[in-house]
Structure 1
Amino acid sequence: MDNPRDLPPPPPIDTLGAKGPIALFLDFDGTLVPIAPTPDRIAVPPDLAKRLEELSARLDHRMAVVSGRSPANLAEHLGPLAVAVAGSHGAARRKRDGSTFGPDAERLPDAAIGAIERTADRAGALLERKAHGLALHYRSAPEKEDAVVEAAQALAAEHGLALKRGKCVVEFVLPGADKGRAVEAFMAEPEFAGAMPVFVGDDVTDEDGFCAAAKNGGFGVAVGERPSDSALYHLPAVSDVHAWLKL
């Protein structure tokens, strides 16, 4: 497992683009905006959507935001965004014009939702309701990590769900929802095909994106201090991501 501090920074994005077309995939929390104590308290620059649209245009629109948040939740924080998006860990995908592609993302079964709600109450975790999943946050009580994770693993096994772990959070999703599959789906689209994929993210769920980018001839860029199994390059913080992208 590589320490990000031992990885070099990525080449300038203009240098990469001069060698051939690139397809850029950007995580949101911890990559484009700093992590906040709770998901609804993130600080989003008021012009971030406009800046992302301008970056997408510079890349001939071979760019997508790939987030654990749903597309609707991203819109709540960013406003209208004419950029391709894969939300809910890639399960809900839409193109730049707003049209969806791929199978419709489904919500969790009612029985699983009820069990997760009860577990959140017992464990004292913050329950985040998502369009296609549920998350248990314990950032305000990190000492509860072992208990929350153990309970979540048991619930996921009982209800046939996939469990995503992140920074002080575990999230329940349906099997098959991961950021690597989102990259594969976009790379099969005509406007992305043939480009070199670059995935930028800060959390363990982004490792799937890094691997998919590498599989398709590109690479991952790890953000922050979390060790990475699959990234080739590293940027220390959100501000460095913005500087590298010239946002």
Structure 2
Amino acid sequence: MPKLAEHDMAALLAPPPAHLADGASLFLDFDGTLVDIAPRPDAVAVDSRLRRLIATLIERLDGRIAIVSGRGAAEIAALFGGLDCPIAGSHGAELRGVAQAEMPERPAALDTVAARFHALAEARPGLVVELKPLGVGLHYRGVPAAEGDARALAEELSAATGLTLQRGKMVFELRAPGDKGRAIAALMGAMPFAGSRPVFLGDDLTDEPGFATVARLGGAGVLVGPVRETEAAYRLPDVTSTLRWLERIAENAA
């Protein structure tokens, strides 16, 4: 499916619950989709409502649900206090909770990246360095004026190390190769997902490969947040509306 330009966004309707109620699989991004983005990544918490919702969806969809996040898989599991469903972490580079579980070796160059990012953060208070199993993020949400310096350093280090430069919402991340679309495709080849219709909810540019993959596999992407060019077929305006929609899915699948 070709990307839709902003003038075509009227076509991105809210997806009806019936779209998922019959034999579908749910793939869910975390930050910006299930929880609001916080000023610092470590300020995010999972409340009882979200824990109950995910547990209910796992039960009602016979296990056909996975979290697909830029965070590490272990961190996602810890935030939920344990999860009885697969997790694709580190932008799809990690697969946890499935027979074909994957955890690539951490690139040694990330140590250099972390040191350089920390040095810039000390010089520009408000920048936040996020250490991940297979990546290092430099967040400038707390100091938007530092975007240029953060981008320049990230681009320099990407060229020097060969690490993937991932742009996100007010963050530049250098990481090992990974792809949310590839992770979703791998999960769709395994039980209990095989043979179902995939639906992926995400908010960021990092989710576009996932949207493209589910469309190719006969499913649909759901963009969470403001209108933009996207491979998604549907849109929900924010995290609150997304949680309400997922709760209706859980009720309809009962």
When normalised by structure 2's length, the TM-score is 0.87
**CA deviation string 1:6-49 (max 9, x = no partner):** 34334322x1245x411110000010011100001114213422
Matched, 1:6 2:5: no
Say which of 79, 82, 97 aligns to 1:80: 82
* Residue 245 of structure 2: aligned partner: 244
For residue 202 of structure 1, what is the aligned residue in structure 2? 203
| Partner residue in 2 for 1:101 | 100
Cα pair 2:151 2:172 within 8 Å, conserved: yes
Unaligned runs of 5+ in 1: none
Distance, in Å, in 1 between the alignment partners of 2:59 and 2:169 is 32
Q: CA deviation at 1:190?
A: 2.9
What letter is aligned with 1:9?
A: L
Tell me how far 1:164 sits from its aligned partner.
1.2
Give 1:41-52 correspondences, 5 Å limit. 41-52=43-54
Aligned-partner residue type, residue 47 of structure 2: P
- Please say if 1:27 is aligned against 2:29: yes
Give the number of aligned pairs.
Answer: 240
Aligned residues with identical type, % of pairs: 43
The alignment yields a C-alpha RMSD, in angstroms, of: 1.9
For 1:208 and 1:221, locate their aligned partners in 2 and report how far apart those are by CA, in whole Å: 12
Query: For the Cα contact (< 8 Å) 1:22–1:197, is it kept in 2?
Result: yes
Q: What residue number does 1:235 align with?
A: 236
TM-score (norm 1): 0.89
Superposition pairs of residues 141-220 of structure 1, within 5 angstroms: 141-175=143-177, 177-220=178-221
Say if 1:230 and 1:79 are closer, same or farther in 2 by CA, change over 3 A: same
Residues 226, 135 of structure 1: alpha-carbon distance in 2 compared, 3 angstrom cutoff: farther
Asked if structure 1 preserves the Cα contact closer than 8 Å seen for 2:181 and 2:209, the reply is: yes
Greater mean deviation of Cα atoms: 139-148 or 26-35: 139-148
Write out per-residue CA displacement over residues 161-216 of structure 1, whole angstroms, 9 at most, x where no aligned residue. Answer: 111111001111112x0111111110111321111111100111000110111111
Aligned to 1:122: 120
Mapped to 2, the partners of 1:169 and 1:7 lie a distance apart of 29
Distance in 2 between residues matched to 1:84 and 1:103, nearest whole Å: 11
